[in-house]
Homo-oligomer: A and B are copies of this chain.
Amino acid sequence: VNQRRAQLIGTGLIGGSVGLALRRDGWFVTGHDTDITVAARARDRGAVDTVGDDAEAELVVIAAPVGSIPSLVEVARDRHPDAVITDVGSVKGPVVEAVDDPNFVGGHPMAGSEQSGVDGSDASMFDGAVWVLTPTESTTAEAFALVHSVAARTGAEVIALDAAEHDRIVAMVSHVPHLAAATLMRLAASRSDAHSALLRLAAGGFRDMTRIAAGHPGIWPDICSENRAAIVEVLDELIAELRQVRVAVETGDRNGLIAQLESARKARLNLPTTAARPEDLVEVRVVVADHPGQLALVTTRASELGVNIYDIEMAHSAEGPRGVMILVIDASMSHQFAESLASSGYRVSLRPLR
């Protein structure tokens, strides 16, 4: 059997991770990057077999800034007339509008890392992530099937969406939340000049809300530019909703506030915690003081009982250091696990996930 061959265009964080995942899966991977030192580093890290251009590649993966993707697809098509081409850009509408090619499939693996660049790349980056594909009416089934299978074999959950819908969704769940977190953080910081105690009072809830603002800003101007319309629309909605909240506070509309907060609470409790099959899973909530010994104890207890933990998070109370550890585990083991923790003095509650 001939080894399957892929071409990477761009070998940074995501491109490098795709390369590592493809090679783990048996592909022969050739890659290049506008920065030749990045391409060389990708080869040293094992993200590509060789640096350069492979005319025999059946798959081309473009991992470059969104604005450059349409022209890179054109160049790639000239060099690889029969290849399936995909990209990993985080905005999809402008790409699929500009590219009219039945063997191109737009993609967006929703994964990232605190580290940037090829040194942060990792074959397991997409494990458990959602990988969106945005086929158009002209996309061939063969092209879609190839990209789908490559994405799924990285461990990602593959979801097909209309490109414009994808862009509206990521504006809502990723882009605007990021901008809002940064805005809240800046506002608090600007006030902390006057009140030096302010940041010492910023406890669990504030920390959770602003955490993503610690990320590197480098990619955001591109994202904001490419997804401008959707981001502006969601920002407008957010501002309008906040104005309504302001009115409810100013007029003392207790019922209105309760209704707003109650519907948010219900929605948050129903937020899927994992991409794994939710019909078999149970959410276990364990009240803990914010002491790491307890964290180790609870997770080790799970290992001892053979309980696989699909997701874990620490929810802090709005004020103060206490929290609730939220674990998602197999329903079949949940009672045994809960009883074991309860017998050690923990307060435990169980909630099936839809």
Contact = CB atoms under 8 A, between A and B. Distances in A.
A236 B90 CA distance: 32
A326 to B, nearest CB: 9
Contacts of A141: none
Contacts of A238: 183-184, 187, 242
A225 B254 contact: yes
Contacts of A182: 260-261, 264-265
A54 to B, nearest CB: 28
Contacts of A257: 217, 220-221, 224
Given A201-B170, A228-B252, A214 B312 contact: no
Interface string A213-225: 1111110110011
Contact of A212 (B130, B179, B205, B249): B205
A191 B176 CA distance: 14
Contact of A114 (B198, B212, B315): B315
A265 B185 CA distance: 8
A74 interface: no
B322 A113 contact: yes
B293 A296 contact: no
Contact of A172 (B183, B188, B265): B188
A213 B268 contact: yes
Given A114-B317, A263-B186, A296-B303, A235 B225 contact: no
A215 B258 CA distance: 12
A322 B112 CA distance: 7
A82 interface: no
A112 B225 contact: no
B189 A263 contact: yes
Contacts of A314: 312-314
A203 B174 CA distance: 8
Interface residues of A, number: 135
Contacts of A279: none
Contact of A169 (B197, B225, B241, B254): B197
Given A212-B205, A254-B225, A111 B189 contact: no
Interface in A209-253: 209-218, 220-221, 224-225, 228, 231-232, 234-239, 241-243, 245-246, 248-250, 252
Interface stretch (A26-34, A96-104, A284-292): A284-292
A149 B165 CA distance: 58
Interface string A261-281: 111110111111101000000
Given A115-B347, A207-B313, 5 more contacts: A130-B200, A132-B201, A199-B270, A295-B312, A314-B314
20 contacts: A120-B287, A159-B200, A161-B197, A165-B197, A178-B205, A180-B209, A180-B242, A182-B260, A189-B263, A199-B270, A199-B271, A207-B271, A209-B212, A210-B264, A211-B313, A211-B316, A212-B318, A232-B250, A296-B299, A296-B300
4 closest residue pairs by CB, A with B: A111-B320, A217-B261, A189-B267, A182-B264
